[in-house]
Amino acid sequence: MILVRSIQLHNFKQYRRAEIKPDAKSGLFFFIGQNKLGKSNFLNAICWCLYEEQPFKETIDQQRGGAAGLLNEDAKRENEYDEVRVEIEIQYDAEVFRFSRSQRTTQSSIFTVFRKTGSDWRPIDNPNTIVESFLPRNLRQYFIFAGENVQGLFSKGHETGLKKGIWQVANIEELDRGINHLESIYSELRKSAAKGDNTLEGLDEKISASKNEVEANKKTIERNEAEIEKLSDIKKEREEKQRTYQQYSELIKRRADLNAEIASIEEDTEKNKGRINELLLRKSPFLYVESQLKKVAERLKQEKELGTLPPRIKAEFIDELLEHHVCICGRSLSTQDKEACSHLASLKEEMQEIDQRTPILEDQTAIKQIIDQIGEFGTELDFLKQKQIKNLDAMERANRTLRDISVQLENAPNVEVGSLEGEIRAITGDIDEFKEGSIRLKVQNETLAASIAEFEKAQKLGMEKKADALEKMAQMEVVEEAQKKLEFVRDRIVDRVRATLSSKTEKYFKQLFWEKGTFESIKFSEDYKLLAYKPGDEEPAKEFSTGELKTLGLAALKAIGELSGFRDVPIFFDAPLSNLDAQVRDNVLNMLPDLAPQKQVFIFSLDDEAIMKFIHDRYHGAFATLGRDPANSRSTIIKNI
């Protein structure tokens, strides 16, 4: 909860020196004074300190801008370079903070946030971040506002601003940014995946069919998980009731430990499955390469043993025979022996073709090294499989022990305990069936995923591109699913926020408005345009009086405050009763104590007869007045009454 401990003004406009110190953690705090005494500028001082803004009632001094427009006139006459300073001390739960902004003529303002540690005040880094975490700038208009302008929430053209403000307090803009970010990621992934190679004929249909089957399995798994969740809730309720029977507490505790052990084993099993699947997806093309390399190595070995890959000397030897005109049998050849020379030339040509294959023999060592490296993948896969087997054995032992415990509890002499145990066993059986079904489908999906990867990665051209495309497509599925879920949550929140705002605004408006029955319902359209219906009218009213608009604004502000995540932030309200009819004014006064019963509400008002009567009747004169400082006729002082 945020509490204002003190607000100090030094040389800020009408205020030479002023300080307020609320004496309670909640309730109404009235500050009464005539016009031109600085009620609105007190709120400007708060906004200037926190945000360096002055949103209320521009004055001649304010229009000048800078420290010259802020500096108190009396102080300026004494020292035109004197300091303007506003300090706000708040308590946030158990911690105390002090926000301080100061400025001198021709200089920029200095903003500091201090945290109280013991009796010391220590400055904090990133002061603006601290302000945004306590009193966000974009929510300022919902806890510091001017009553005279409250009807502006519904004036023509303000629907966009109201919608934006509502979405800010409901954090809908954060969801929109998340959806847009996911959409951008999806677009980038799609562009990247489109660059992948798709040259193998017939695989597109297989991949599409496999993915459709995977999606169907996923939907079935989702339904199974929903049933598991529902049954688990029922099971938890039965188990909770069962725990009341102390004579079986040890057995129940042992069963809970086993359930936790099983859950841990299942989690580890799922992780191992994910790792196995990852190995299969990433390494399966290398298994194909290993197989081909082994075939090449074996063929080379056989050809070498058979002598079908002769050494290079054979072709060179024939060249020498032709050069010296000698037959392969050793006899001399004349230039007229064309048939013998032609035979030698053909033989040379045949041997040269064989010689071109002999360099492959030099790659045998490299092929063997590659095969050995690929074998490391098989070792890791075997390790994971052995780990899965151990997990299954451990789970079987745990389940067997669970069944033994269930039998003991079922056969207990207490009928109700036995009945509960029977129900739990039946529910557990149903859960196990759903889990087994989901496991089968997940295994099937893993197999399908491996098949998809094998189909796509088996392409000779663009294997790396295809692998990258598959990875991007998998990421696209995840991103698309996340985007759908985020959009679903956003739409639900948007509808709920608008419905809640409409109903609460209608409720508070009817409490405040004196002409009961004039309006039948109050709603907000999707664009946050005000729709107020009178009894019997099908079309919404098009014109409103000033009092009606202001009353609607007050009702909406209270509704917005309840929607906001900053319910504990103090409220500062300037002139809440101005321009209101007597009946509405009385209704607003009666509502003020309930406007924010659990936090501080600071009200700056004219010296109005009705509000003074309200203060004396309900608060026994507990208020402060704003008046002129006798020593400095242009300065305002605050006096507690």
Q: Does the structure show a pLDDT above 70 at 95?
A: yes
Q: Say what the pLDDT of residue 202 is.
A: 65
Burial pattern 385-422, b for ≥16 Cβ within 10 A else e, equals eebeeebeebbeebeeebeebbeebeebeeeebeebbe
- pLDDT average, residue stretch 434-456: 82
Region for 104 from its dihedrals, namely left if φ exceeds 0, alpha if ψ lies in -120 to 50, beta otherwise: beta
Give a yes or no: residue 416 inside a domain: yes
What's the half-sphere exposure (Cβ side, CA atoms, 13 Å) at 625?
10
Q: Say what the pLDDT of residue 244 is.
A: 62
Q: Say what the pLDDT of residue 198 is.
A: 52
Quick one: 346 and 410 in the same domain? no
pLDDT tens-digit readout, 247-263: 566 777 788 888 888 88
Q: Say what the pLDDT of residue 103 is.
A: 94
What's the number of domains the chain is made of?
A: 2
Closest CA to 99 of 145, 138, 132, 56: 132
Give a yes or no: residue 233 inside a domain: yes
Give a yes or no: residue 224 inside a domain: yes
Closest CA to 445 of 268, 199, 285, 222: 222
Distance from C-alpha of 406 to C-alpha of 254, rounded to nearest angstrom: 11
pLDDT tens-digit readout, 158-210: 677 677 767 766 677 777 888 888 888 878 877 777 765 555 556 677 788 88
- Could you give the angle at the alpha carbon of 620 between the alpha carbons of 616 and 623, nearest 5°? 80
Quick one: 466 and 408 in the same domain? yes
Its pTM stands at 0.51
Give a yes or no: residue 54 inside a domain: no
- pLDDT average, residue stretch 243-248: 62
User: Pairing relation of β-strands 95-103 and 110-117?
Assistant: antiparallel
Name the domain boundary from 475, 500, 525: 475
Q: What is the SS3 assignment for 600?
A: strand
Q: How confident is the model at residue 61 (pLDDT cuts 50, 70, 90)?
A: very low
Quick one: 263 and 399 in the same domain? yes
Name the domain boundary from 321, 339, 356: 356
Q: How confident is the model at residue 83 (pLDDT cuts 50, 70, 90)?
A: very high
**Residue 585, C-beta contacts closer than 8 angstroms, at least 6 positions apart:** 577, 610
Q: What are residue 121's DSSP bridge partners? A: 116
Quick one: 393 and 458 in the same domain? yes
Q: Does the structure show a pLDDT above 80 at 538?
A: yes
Q: Containing domain of residue 450, as a range? A: 194-285+361-475
Quick one: 318 and 337 in the same domain? yes
- pLDDT average, residue stretch 469-477: 79
Which of 60-69, 225-234, 332-341, 379-388 is modeled with the greatest confidence?
225-234
- pLDDT average, residue stretch 25-34: 83
Quick one: 241 and 387 in the same domain? yes
Encoded tokens for 564 = 């906001």
411, 414, 415, 421: CA torsion to nearest 10: -60
Q: Please state, rounded to an integer, the average pLDDT across all residues of the chain.
A: 77
Quick one: 413 and 388 in the same domain? yes
- pLDDT average, residue stretch 338-346: 73
Q: Does the structure show a pLDDT above 50 at 313?
A: no
Cβ atoms of residues 127 and 112 within 8 Å: yes
Q: Say what the pLDDT of residue 312 is.
A: 45
Decide which of 159 and 496 is more confident: 496
Quick one: 344 and 367 in the same domain? no
Distance from C-alpha of 110 to C-alpha of 611, rounded to nearest angstrom: 38
One-letter amino acid at 270 equals E
Quick one: 324 and 397 in the same domain? no
Name the domain boundary from 443, 475, 507: 475
Give CA 116 to chain center in angstroms: 33
Quick one: 349 and 413 in the same domain? no
Give a yes or no: residue 11 inside a domain: no
564 φ/ψ angles, rounded to the nearest 5 degrees: -70, 150
Residue 518, number of CB atoms within 10 A of its CB: 13
